[in-house]
Structure 1
Amino acid sequence: MRLSSTGLDLLKRRTGLTLDARQDPAGLWFIGYGHYGDVHAGMTITQAEAEAKLEHEIGRHETQLAGMLEVPVSQGQWDALLLLVFDYGLIRVRSSILIRHVNAGAIDRAAEEFLKWIQVRGRPDMQMARRRAIEREMFLQGSQFA
């Protein structure tokens, strides 16, 4: 399964495009659409390079997410889960109660778990709370969301 155009648009709007390397609040360098890792001070990229980096990361996350799921999911569920992986990482999501509920077919219980993933550096964050509310709706209603 692939991230839908709706999910991709949401991901891009959330992260924004940064062609010059910047530091996040934790001091980590990022560039493009929230690309971390091989980024350093003074680094610049083109929009095409940012798109390529994002496409590579999406593919990597899709492969990882597919390996976590033991049941089929809808496009909206896939998109919501993939967006969560982008924010919190594979390791945290893979071992989560949310994934256990998805794999058990407990969709309503899984949807409620999204609302618990709102912390940044150990504190509740309003931006993350808004993201999770949108993802919860995607998860429950397919790809139609506000």
Structure 2
Amino acid sequence: MKISQTGIKLIQQFEGCLLVGYKDAVGVPTIGWGHTGGVVVGQRITQAKADELLKQDLKRFEDAVNKLGLKLNQNQFDALVSFAYNVGPGNLKKLVEGRSLNQVADNICLYCKAGGQTLNGLVKRRNAEKALFLKPVPVANPYPGHPVKQGSTNTIATKLIQKVAGAKVDGVFGPQTTAAVKAWQKKHGLAADGIIGPKTWSKMF
């Protein structure tokens, strides 16, 4: 997975962007959007360079979250990338190790200290990350509420189904669409009945 714009904005909100190298709350030389690799206090960079460093850093922390092997939705993934960006992959591993996703959410807010002191900025960031982690992700194509099958008049749902099943996208659920759906169901280990019920819909979308 890759971080979304929502996650990037959260990181940018709490990191801020300074184009001159400085020492952070625990004395680590930092520049741009919280970048810490090879930074010299007082050095200067452009905004374009700061944005480039952010992209490079995000890739590293995306990889750290992906390596956890957890089944995450986009909001959960974004929250953990932000968390790792701030406290490092080591603390990320400690956060999730042996815990359910609900327990992970509950423990995010424990990581609000720097140099042994609780920092208000970290408290706010952890609360924002927890809120994002727990925020449901809207379903792009919600189930229409009843099975879609041959003869259906739901042209919008039929077109979505036809596109996924590889049938001609015309909004008409006829024999050809039924055949394409049956083949798709069989390929994906579902009952090949040509009817789009909740299980097939969930698998498709």
Whether the TM-score (by the shorter chain) exceeds 0.5 is: yes
What is the Cα-based RMSD across aligned positions, in Å?
Answer: 1.7
User: Take 2:45 and 2:137, find their aligned partners in 1: how far apart are those partners?
Assistant: 31
1:2 is displaced (CA, Å) by 0.9
User: Take 1:38 and 1:30, find their aligned partners in 2: how far apart are those partners?
Assistant: 9
Q: Does residue 100 in structure 1 map to residue 94 in structure 2?
A: no
Hey, what does 1:44 align to over in structure 2? 44
Letter in 1 for 2:91: R
Q: Does residue 131 in structure 1 map to residue 129 in structure 2?
A: no
Give the number of the structure whose alpha-carbon radius of gyration is greater. Answer: 2
Hey, what does 1:80 align to over in structure 2? 79
User: 1:98 touches 1:114 (CA, 8 Å); kept in 2?
Assistant: no
Counting only pairs closer than 5 Å after superposition, residues 7-86 of structure 1 correspond to structure 2 as 7-68=7-68, 70-86=69-85
Same amino acid, percent of matched pairs: 27
Question: What TM-score, normalized by structure 1, do the two folds share?
Answer: 0.86
CA gap of 1:44–1:59, structure 2 versus 1, over 3 A, is same
1:11 is displaced (CA, Å) by 0.8
Partner SS for 1:20: strand
Q: Which runs of 5+ in 1 are unaligned?
A: none
Q: Which runs of 5+ in 2 are unaligned?
A: 139-205
Tell me which of the two structures has the higher relative contact order, counting C-alpha pairs closer than 8 angstroms and 6 or more residues apart.
1
1:24 is displaced (CA, Å) by 1.7
User: 1:20 touches 1:31 (CA, 8 Å); kept in 2?
Assistant: yes
